[in-house]
Structure 1
Amino acid sequence: MGRTYDCSDREQMLAGMRAARQAIARGEVIVAPTDTVYGVAADAFSPAAVKRLLEAKGRSRQQPPPVLVGSTEALHALVEQVPEEVTALVERFWPGGLTIVLPAQPSLTWDLGETKGTVAVRQPNNAIMLELLAETGPLAVSSANLTGQPAAIDAMSASSMLGERVGVFLDDGPVSTGIASTIIDATGLAGRGERIVRVLRDGAITRDELREVLGDLLEEDAGEDPPQ
């Protein structure tokens, strides 16, 4: 069983952050809070670490994890291009609960699974995770739960599901929302297929909020009336 650090205690938080950085450097997986749900995280550039992350969740390579970044500059380093509409989304919703799928930078040497040349990127709005990202660089992060189980909203829930698969648990109390991020496919804006943005998963950012930025570029949901 990995050790849990209480981040409400400053000394434990500092020790926990140090332990988390060391664990990530060793290619292990950790659990840490985000602004949406707790996440299980690993070095995005270590194929062995990403493999451990997927195994911890009981996932296959056909379900690659998103990548969390600590800044918008990191987004530009990970993707082939950032269309101006994506820049507008980032300015409006980052840091926050919006994950954006774009074509990955071809020069990157990483293996997140069967991504078909894309990467799902998000900047979370959580001080602990942002500090960790500033020190480690981009992390592959997925919700801290076994596949098929509800996403963990606190460290204890994550520990009960993932247990010995995880080296370090950073406990910052229950997350404020417990609502997973909205995932959108913006590859069409980068020249891959129809110039439209599709919602792959509804979550923290609503379709109405997305439409305020994207207008008619947002694909209509089957249950929506056409925009007037």
Structure 2
Amino acid sequence: MAGTSDIEKAADVLRAGGLVALPTETVYGLGANAEDPAAVSRTFQVKGRPSSHPLIVHIGGAELLDDWVQEVPATARLLAEHFWPGPLTLVLRRGRRVPLEATGGLETVAVRVPDHPVALALLSAFGGGVTAPSANRFGSVSPTTADDVRAELGDAVDFVLDGGLCEVGVESTIVDATGDIPTILRPGGVTREDLESVLGCPLAVPASSRIRVPGQHPSHYAPRAQVVLVPPEKVVTEAELAQELGHRVGVFLPAAFGDAEVKAHAVVRVPDSMAAYARGLYGLLRELDQRGCDIIVASLLAEAGLGLAIANRLRRAAGPRAAA
């Protein structure tokens, strides 16, 4: 776990315009000084991320929100009070401190307060905001350990802070709080049910939105292997058929199958707990890549609670990919 000297060094790297991989409760982020357009632009270059895709600005506390946005509607204030620090991102009108490089040219900005002691210590030591998209190549599986970051980005990152395994394991929930009625633009670590309980009204989760936010690309969170989604009851037959056809098949076996044997190259068993599944999802995808699978067969489980975020990640992992 990163200590005080590591955090001070990371803060110095940010001040100098460098990039720092930092742990959050969701995934590891590729951090840059949010007010330094050159550093922010380098983030896009390292990730291979289109410059039109906005970044999330991470700040050290809810009390700092007014410094980064034009106005904070009552609904946004209520959500910040209940869920920060935590895996919730609010989209609001961009304040003057935020360069357009960080927002993909939009007049809105995505902001959150991470719930990780190392991230919060870094934000405190640095004294500013940090843009921190996931610390991986654009479109690939997000990192949930420091080793994941090192394996994927290597020397392109100036400093890596090790904060252990990410507790939540999937990215933050993104809520458009610019209008009268909030909308979930990306399901994530804060569930729709929890948001609705606080707000006292139902929230929509549209398939597309007028505001660009992270995680909307058709193919995202994707391993090298092709991901195939089928109904739970067809996972075994689909996997065994693909294996017979000569593929090296990895299987996400639902808990309902117990210890059933599957004729496949590699089998990982999905945890009963949605929280455990979310925490381990990206690690499992990486594991099947490392074991040489070229197809991963999985299913969507109940889309309630964290199941909504898991389903979102799996659908985008299985999404159409651009031709090489």
Q: Please give the TM-score of this superposition, normalised by the length of structure 1.
A: 0.85
Separation in 1, partners of 2:182, 2:105: 18
Of structures 1 and 2, the larger Rg is shown by 2
1:99-138 aligned within 5 A: 99-105=89-95, 107-108=96-97, 110=99, 111-136=101-126, 137-138=128-129
Equivalent residue, structure 2, for 1:197: 182
Give the superposition deviation at 1:109: 5.8
Moved more, 112-121 or 125-134: 112-121
Counting only pairs closer than 5 Å after superposition, residues 77-156 of structure 1 correspond to structure 2 as 77-105=67-95, 107-108=96-97, 110=99, 111-136=101-126, 137-156=128-147
Shift, 1:18, TM fit: 2.1
Residues 79-137 of structure 1: CA deviation (Å, up to 9, x unaligned): 111111111111111100000000012x3362314242011000011111111111221
Q: Give the Cα–Cα distance (whole angstroms) in 1 for the partners of residues 12 and 193 of structure 2.
A: 41
Gaps of 5+ in 2: 208-302, 305-324
Cα deviation, residue 22, structure 1: 1.5
Deviations 1:46-88 (A, max 9, x none): 0000011111111121112100000112211111111111111
Letter in 1 for 2:16: R
Question: Distance in 2 between the 1:153 and 1:220 partners?
Answer: 25
Q: Does 1:30 align with 2:15?
A: no
Q: Is the 8 A contact 1:70 1:133 kept in 2?
A: yes
How far, CA to CA, are the matches of 1:221 and 1:79 in structure 2? 24
Tell me the alpha carbon deviations over residues 14-52 of structure 1, each in whole angstroms, 9 at most, x when there is no partner: 331122111111101010111111111000000000011
Task: Give the distance between the partners of 1:97 and 1:51, measured in 2 at CA.
Answer: 24
Is residue 46 from structure 1 mapped to residue 54 from structure 2 by the alignment?
no
Confirm or deny: 8 A CA contact 1:64 1:114 kept in the other structure: yes
The alpha-carbon distance between structure 1 residues 220 and 50, as it changes in their structure 2 partners (threshold 3 A), is closer
Give the letter aligned to residue 36 of structure 1.
T
Equivalent residue number for residue 196 of structure 2: 211
Q: CA contact under 8 A between 2:27 and 2:134: conserved in structure 1?
A: yes
Quick one: higher RCO (CA 8 Å, sep 6+), 1 or 2? 1
CA distance in 2, matches of 1:220, 1:33: 27
Structure 1 residues 48 and 86 mapped into 2: Cα distance closer, same or farther (>3 Å)?
Answer: same
User: 8 Å contact 1:197–1:217 — kept in the other structure?
Assistant: no
Alignment match, 2:154: 163
User: Which whole-Å CA distance do the structure 2 matches of 1:157 and 1:171 have between them?
Assistant: 11
Matches of 1:216 and 1:109, distance apart in 2: 31
Unaligned runs of 5+ in 1: 1-5, 8-12, 189-194
Could you tell me which amino acid in structure 2 is paired with residue 201 of structure 1? R
Aligned CA distance change for structure 1 residues 212 and 115 (closer, same or farther; 3 Å) = farther
Cross-structure match for 2:164: 173
Q: How far apart in 2 are the matches of 1:42 and 1:197?
A: 28
Distance 1:42 1:117 in 2: 20
Whole-angstrom distance in 2 between the partners of 1:21 and 1:132: 6
Structure 2 Cα separation of the partners of residues 127 and 33 of structure 1: 9
Q: Percent identity?
A: 37
CA contact 1:16–1:168 (8 Å) conserved in 2: no
Contact 1:184–1:200, Cα closer than 8 Å, also in 2: yes
**Cα drift, residue 175 of structure 1:** 1.3
- The range that moved more, 108-117 or 63-72, is 108-117
CA distance in 1, matches of 2:107, 2:206: 26
So what's the TM-score if we normalise by structure 2? 0.61
Q: Structure 1 counterpart of 2:155, which letter?
A: E
